[in-house]
Amino acid sequence: MKMKRLVATMVCASGAAMLMGAPAAQADSTILASMWDRGKSMGFTLSRASASAGKITFQVTNDSASITHELLVSPVKNFMNFGYKPDAAEARVDEGSMNIIEETHGMKPGTYKSITVDLKPGKYIIVCNKPGHFSDGMFLPFVVY
Ligand SMILES: [Cu+2]
């Protein structure tokens, strides 16, 4: 438990560093998304945690050395309760409960994919729904203004 909290803090710190280091000329509608895992922890690092409404491009890289990940964009009403239903047999979220807007599908380690979505203002969750990955914390909030 203590370990998990430490990892979450480290992820936030690296996310903030990336925000400060983002080139000024980069359009705010382009999000660089890294999918990673280290030992038992895994997650996303996004270049921005929010964007203006409209067309938003996620440039997704799987930076894992050995694990296939995916990026799903899912709208939620509330960051404290996503309203997701579990698919216990598959150890993941029941995708029928996620209102998925777009997804990369499984990406092998070292691969890159770009997806563009047209998002209205609201709250979204960026999720990897490979078995066990959501429960291991592989999701992040994303806000559209
Ligand atoms: Cu994953």
The CATH number of the domain where 47 resides is what? 2.60.40.420
pLDDT of 124 strictly over 80 = yes
DSSP 3-state percent helix, strand, coil across the chain (nearest 5): 20, 40, 40
CA of 142 to the centre of ligand 1 (A): 17
Res. 117 pLDDT band, cuts 50 70 90:
very high
Residues 120, 142: Cα–Cα separation, whole Å = 12
Q: Could you tell me the pTM of the whole model?
A: 0.81
| Mean pLDDT, the chain, integer | 87
Residues 66, 71: Cα–Cα separation, whole Å = 16
Range of the domain at 137: 2-144
CA of 111 to the centre of ligand 1 (A): 13
CA of 25 to the centre of ligand 1 (A): 30
CA of 20 to the centre of ligand 1 (A): 26
- Please, which residues have CB less than 5 A from ligand 1, an ion? 69, 128, 130, 133, 138
- pLDDT for 20 equals 52
Rounded to 5 degrees, φ, ψ at 36 are: -145, 165
Res. 102 pLDDT band, cuts 50 70 90:
very high
- pLDDT for 100 equals 98
pLDDT of 6 strictly over 70 = no
Residue matched to tokens 């807007």: 101
CA of 104 to the centre of ligand 1 (A): 11
If you compute the radius of gyration of the chain from its CA atoms, what whole number of angstroms results? 15
CA of 22 to the centre of ligand 1 (A): 24
Number of domains in the chain: 1
What element of type H or E holds 125?
strand 122-127
CA of 15 to the centre of ligand 1 (A): 18
What is the DSSP track for 75-119?
EES-SS-----EEGGGTEE-GGGTT--EE---B-TT-EEEEEEEE
**Residue 92 contacts residue 133 (beta carbons within 8 Å):** yes
CA of 35 to the centre of ligand 1 (A): 7
- pLDDT for 19 equals 52
Residues 54, 29: Cα–Cα separation, whole Å = 8
- pLDDT for 14 equals 47
CA of 65 to the centre of ligand 1 (A): 12
Nearest to 57 by CA among 34, 90, 30, 81: 30
